[in-house]
Amino acid sequence: MSAPAAVPVAVCQFAPTASRPDNLERIAELATEAASRGAKLIVFPEYSSYFVDPLDESLAANAEDLDGTFVTTLIALAADLAVVIVAGLVERASDERHVRNTVVAVRGDGVLAVYRKQHLYDAFGQTESDWVEPGEVGEAATFDLGGLGFGLMTCYDLRFPEVARVLVDAAADALVVPAEWVRGPLKEHHWTTLLGARAIENTVYVIAADHPTPIGVGHSQIVDPQGVVLAGVGTAEGIAVATVERAAIETVRTTNPSLRVRRYGVTARES
């Protein structure tokens, strides 16, 4: 009899800077610690490769291709640690001014999935679209690990339940959410509420990694299919580890078959 599907996962909350080498060094330190604690999937925040506040033209100057230093270094690190790593990077776009806000999932043999943020943060006084090109609406970005499906989304996408539902319809058992959830009035409340809501309504796990304060709200979390926080970080840098288990998903869906009884599908909106 095969072992039940269960994957130890970690969220690594750290503050990326304008130094790309420093960011990679910090990622290596955190990933090594997370792996030593048993994690097989290690998740880092949005903009892990490069970040400035406010966003400016330096993003384009520090953008990379998917075969650039950032991704190839992550692949080598994943190989050394025998893990899968998910992290956000600033990717080159179709013009010289803009970039793509991209998330990659990698393991030692290469890239497993790529997701480009669909909903840009043009809200709460911010205009991410000044600098970032939105990703196209299309196939769900998912990957498999340890008999479980994981789906990628990014930060502000969390406010749009359709993104999560598309991933779950593509057999994701857990939503992986790198973020830079900017601080502001009630923003911590919105973050934690939405993480729980996406888990509860889809009966899946949510694995979310944020930037710490003072720019982000922190509170990176691993949330179970009933919206219970299994492990989390406060407002400083840190690591949280918990296990994602298929048995827990099946148990919840026995009493709450919300996916099976739903009456509506998700369709892309015309631009």
Which residues have a catalytic role annotated? 46, 117, 155
SS (H, E, C) 73-123: HHHHHHHHHCCEEEEEEEEECCCCCCEEEEEEEEECCEEEEEEECCCCCCC
Task: For the beta carbon of residue 266, count every other beta carbon within 10 angstroms.
Answer: 12
Residues 237, 227: Cα–Cα separation, whole Å: 23
Of all residues in the chain, what percent are helix, strand and coil, respectively (each to 5)? 30, 30, 40
Residue 143 gets which letter from DSSP? E
